[in-house]
Amino acid sequence: MIEPEQIQDSFRSIAAPAQGLFKDNGSRFIAYAYPVETEEEVKGIVDSLKKEYHDARHYCYAYRLGYRRERFRANDDGEPSGSAGRPILGQIDANMLSDVLIVVVRYFGGIKLGIPGLIRAYRTSSADAIASAEIIEKIASRNLRLSFGYMSMNDVMKVIKDMSIDVLRQDFSMSCAMDVKVRLSLESSFRERMEKIEGCTIDDI
């Protein structure tokens, strides 16, 4: 069993969107790097860029998600297999990033670059976008909902304060409910302390 202090819940990501560019024989490769957390965000960004750059030839992309960096995809969008998405993903991995999407919009210049040329172009434009981005340390966390009675409020608030837990929402109308964000390395001890409070229940949200 992994002890709480052994959980590696921090990882490298980017703070805000960034842009890179590479040109070769008239072709332009415009790379956009975005901080993302879900596949839905990825789809929305890719669709938006296709509309904005509707006259471009290709929209190749790659992403990696999660604090364990376990979810990823590389898309060549019509370029020769392995010549676009993989080089983009390679730059994300070379910088040990996660929760990151890079989309490279290609305008064809009329001269074919060949597979080595394409790999260099997608790799270089992606590297340029990452170099322009602010690299940050991101903390993996889980959102939880607490439900408890009024008599337990002081005990609950003490744990929240002691462990420096972020409160997302609270409702003290008919009954007491609170949504909190807990970093993964603290989740086990947080649950243990909350379960000792009479009438307090915890649900994932």
Q: DSSP class of residue 15?
A: S
pLDDT, the chain, mean? 93
- C-alpha dist (Å) from residue 150 to 21, 66, 70, 192, 197: 58, 36, 41, 20, 12
Residue 7 banded pLDDT, cuts 50, 70, 90: low
Inter-helix orientation angle 114-132/85-94, to 10°:
40
pLDDT > 90: what percent of the chain?
Answer: 86
Residue 54 banded pLDDT, cuts 50, 70, 90: very high
* Span 17-35, pLDDT tens digits: 999 999 999 999 999 999 9
Q: What is the pLDDT of residue 173?
A: 86
Question: Which residue is associated with the tokens 């929402």?
Answer: 169
- In the predicted model, what is the mean pLDDT of residues 53-62? 97
- 75 pLDDT exceeds 90? yes
Q: Is the dihedral of CA 148, 164, 96, 39 positive or negative?
A: positive
Could you tell me which of 109, 127, 105, 135 has the C-alpha nearest to residue 16? 135
- 4 pLDDT exceeds 50? no
Does residue 34 sit in helix, strand or coil? strand
- 8 pLDDT exceeds 90? no
Show the domains of the chain with their CATH numbers: 4-138 (3.30.230.30), 140-204 (3.30.70.240)
* Span 169-184, pLDDT tens digits: 999 987 899 999 999 9
Say if CB 73 and CB 10 are below 8 A apart: no
Does residue 10 sit in helix, strand or coil? strand
Give me the helices (H) in 55-183, please: 85-94, 114-132, 153-162
Q: Is the dihedral of CA 106, 111, 113, 114 positive or negative?
A: positive
Question: Which residue is associated with the tokens 């490769």?
Answer: 29
- 1 pLDDT exceeds 70? no
Residue 53 banded pLDDT, cuts 50, 70, 90: very high
Q: What is the pLDDT of residue 6?
A: 54
- In the predicted model, what is the mean pLDDT of residues 52-74? 95
- In the predicted model, what is the mean pLDDT of residues 139-158? 93
Q: pTM (2 decimals)? A: 0.80
* Span 96-120, pLDDT tens digits: 999 999 999 999 988 899 999 999 9
